[in-house]
Amino acid sequence: MKKRSRKIYLLAFVLIVILVGYALISKNQRHSKTYMEQEREENFSEVKFSEKDISETKMQEIIEEENIINISDCSDEFMDNYFEEMEAFNEKLSKEDEKTQDEMKSNILIVISKEEPNSDDAIQIIKAPNNTYFLAYETKEQMEKAQEKLAKDDNILSVDNNVVYEISEDNEDFLEAEEIMEENIEVKMPEVSNDIKHNEEADINNDEEANNEEDYVEVQATYNSWGVQAMGLDSALTEANSRTSEEVIVAIIDTGCNLELLESKFSNKIKGYHDVTEGEEFLDEVGHGTHIAGTIAEATPKNVKIYPIKVSRSKKIYNTDIITGINYVVDNNIADVINMSFGGYSTSQSMYTAITAAKNKNIISVAAAGNDNVSTNCYPACYDNTISVSACTKALEKSSFSNYNDAVTFTAPGSNILSINGTSNGTSMATPHVVSAVAIYKSYNKNYTLENVIEALKANCIDLGDEGKDKNFG
């Protein structure tokens, strides 16, 4: 066998658990509630059937017909002013209490227009790339009045609310660095892969999946996340480490990262970092971004580096900060892959445009499908320019909390995932497993597009559920 053929066969190990199937969902499936259950119940029905949502076809038409993506043509001075204004705005907000911060963030409209919008009541207008403007108002009433007026302006292509997104995990607390030392969490470096053996006769109760350790048997793991071996990422990264590859960078748009902890466990993995929230120090007050970074660090070869982009200090992430994070990645040519482990139930022309601008530079976006055990489309995962990831258990069944719909591209391990700062559950935890697989493919060919990677992963995965594509597993 030729050496080249051997490498192609070895790539087949990259994804054993990312799937395709026609599994059906029972109509009486229980809704698995998340940590933000109360707030979700108050807002879910309203957002779910929002008449303001527009189709992806319409969003794509606006992008193509109006030629609104211009980030590559923006001058350095323009981009510097944009980032500086966002940093100053967020720095000012950081001095307020959380309630005031939320109110001020919520009183922002995101407008796409070929001309600067006319809004006399706006207390600040921040010019962003891609013909996008952030309009801040002092009160909700002023914002709603302006929104109604702007919607009637023929020069305005879209008006978005500054939607708040939630991080897609079902764990309230991550361990602090001191607790990690006390718990003696050990990160084991990659060794030769061992197969995970599943009990096919096991009757797994998804409602107890995080605590049920009796229905499957596995050999001694060499990784924190059981998903690394289950997906064959261990074999893939071992092969990738045996050859010289171009550097591949993964941007994690999230709550930041405990850089000291990550570096202590995986040296020379951090390429850089950026804080959209403009805090005094680059921290991870939530622990969510650190958990994701830990999974990617252990599941990727040495040529893959991590670049955390902090867009929130809490479990709430606002559209303006996400867009700014994506724009920072695109403008500075930082990454090849973006991890987005958050989601919400409203479409956004402005976010779709930012992700499309990233796609135009061959940056692949991967996002979490959501944790509400519903079939409603969750964004950005359900956009056609993004890979959508649902979650599965060690028994290779749908995680009880995982969303399911026609937009799901793949599934990956998301239940009971151990990382460098503790164990968590969620499609947030499934997403970095797929991101790692994408990064490994990019290691072989940096020119792989979103479509190339999806087809490659589909060709090298197990088909869970009934034959073909389904809502559970993609």
**Token couple for 98:** 């959380």
What gap in Å lies between CA 63 and CA 57, rounded to an integer?
A: 10
Which residue, among 473, 343, 355, 327, has the nearest Cα to 56 in the 3D structure? 355
AA letter at 182: E
The answer to whether 350 is a known catalytic residue is no
Chain centroid offset of residue 442 CA: 18
441 within 8 A of 453, measured Cβ to Cβ: yes
Q: Which among 428, 433, 443, 470 is annotated as catalytic?
A: 428
Task: Indicate the pairing of strand 216-218 with strand 196-198.
Answer: antiparallel
The answer to whether 291 is a known catalytic residue is no
Residues found in the chain:
474
| Residue 160, strand partner residues | 110
The answer to whether 97 is a known catalytic residue is no
Task: Indicate the pairing of strand 422-424 with strand 417-419.
Answer: antiparallel
Q: Which among 288, 341, 346, 390 is annotated as catalytic?
A: 288
Max Cα distance, the chain (Å): 71
Question: Exposed, middle or buried: residue 319 (CB in 10 Å: 0-12, 13-18, 19+)?
Answer: buried
Q: What is the DSSP string of 155-209?
A: TEEEEEE--EEEE----S----HHHHHHHT--PPPP-S--PEEE-TT----GGGT
Question: Exposed, middle or buried: residue 54 (CB in 10 Å: 0-12, 13-18, 19+)?
Answer: middle
Q: What is the DSSP string of 36-47?
A: THHHHHHHHHHH
Q: Look-up: residue for tokens 């921040």?
A: 126
Q: Look-up: residue for tokens 């045996």?
A: 242
Q: Look-up: residue for tokens 């990727």?
A: 300
Element (H, E) at 110: strand 108-113
Task: Report CA-CA distances (Å) from 385 to 69, 189, 341, 360.
Answer: 15, 34, 15, 10
AA letter at 370: G
Residues near 118 by Cβ (< 8 Å), separated by ≥ 6? 153
Q: Which among 160, 254, 275, 470 is annotated as catalytic?
A: 254
What gap in Å lies between CA 340 and CA 313, rounded to an integer?
A: 15
Q: What is the DSSP string of 377-444?
A: --BTTTSTTEEEEEEE-TTSSB-TT----TT--EEEE-SSEEETTEEE-SHHHHHHHHHHHHHHHHHH
What gap in Å lies between CA 200 and CA 153, rounded to an integer?
A: 60
Catalytic residues: 254, 288, 428
